[in-house]
Structure 1
Amino acid sequence: MRNFFLLFLVFPLIELFVLIRVGASIGASATLLLVLAGGVLGVLCMRLAGLTTALKVRERMAQGEVPNKDMLNGLLLAVGGGLIFLPGFISDVIGLLCLLPFVRQWLIQRVAQYMEHSAARSREYYARSTTYTKHHGYSETRETHVIEGEYERKDQ
């Protein structure tokens, strides 16, 4: 809950503060041009990475598979492009970091470790739940009871 507070309230305020300070230092027109250039660069990065990569990652995660490194690489390129697209200089710096190859490789290793750990926990939970149902006599599929009959409305 605290993270969402920071993400949606504090981060935009800090972005706005930095934007105003930069605008006061270099001028409003130069700041506007930098923000517009960042937006164009962000759109180009997202097109380069392609939203299809993000959809493939989501699809493979839904199937319980760990996405391969190429898909994670494309996803990080899309995230970096999205951050650059957002107006503000802090998000631009974070987005540019996502575009650097060595940072992407480090993030891919961290995300892959997290996904492997998460998938192992999920498999362990599934194994425990199926063992529990087998030992306690519960069936895997639930049977439905259908009572057939006829009815007639008498209120008319």
Structure 2
Amino acid sequence: MRQWVLLFIFLSALEIGVFMLAGKWMGILPTVLLIIVTGMVGVYLTKKQGVNVLYQLQSQIQNHQPPGIAMLDGVCVLIGGILLICPGFITDILGLLLLIPFTRKFIRPSMIKMIKNWVNRKQLYIYR
């Protein structure tokens, strides 16, 4: 838990620094407008990718396949959407990487490894 708090503080400080640099480079108004536009684009992309993941999930269930990949994609879309809606250029880049289907397939193995570690350390229980 302590690592997440430190990551949040570090990321916030880094975002403030990037805001200051962007404001100095582009000006205050274009920087604020860019933040607003990326938030709006984030909402649109999240909705679009979320619907795609729901269709993928329904298709896998109807074909009697385990919906594991679709569920992982859903988590990526959720986290990516939250990151895109949050103001900040670094979080926007991370959120965009989670929303693009091509990059999600490179992120999935890390997510699976992290979930397996949680299960092995009994920090996550799977009920069947």
Judge conservation of contact 2:43–2:85 (CA < 8 Å) in 1. Answer: yes
**Structure 2 residue aligned with 1:39:** 39
Identical-pair percentage: 32
Aligned to 1:98: 98
**Counterpart amino acid of 2:99?**
L
How far 1:102 sits from its partner (Å)?
3.0
Aligned-pair distance for 1:20? 1.1
The alpha-carbon distance between structure 1 residues 117 and 24, as it changes in their structure 2 partners (threshold 3 A), is closer
Gaps of 5+ in 1: 57-65, 123-156
The normalised TM-score by structure 1 is 0.59
The answer on 1:7 being equivalent to 2:22 is no
Change (3 A) 1:4 1:117: closer
CA distance in 2, matches of 1:105, 1:47: 19
When the two chains are superposed, the root-mean-square deviation of aligned CA atoms in Å is 2.9
| Consecutive unaligned residues in structure 2, runs of 5 or more | 58-65, 123-128
Q: Kindly provide the CA deviation profile for residues 40-69 of structure 1, in whole angstroms up to 9, marking residues without a partner as x.
A: 11222332316x97xx9xxxxxxxxx9610
Structure with the higher helix share, 1 or 2: 2
Normalised TM-score (structure 2): 0.70
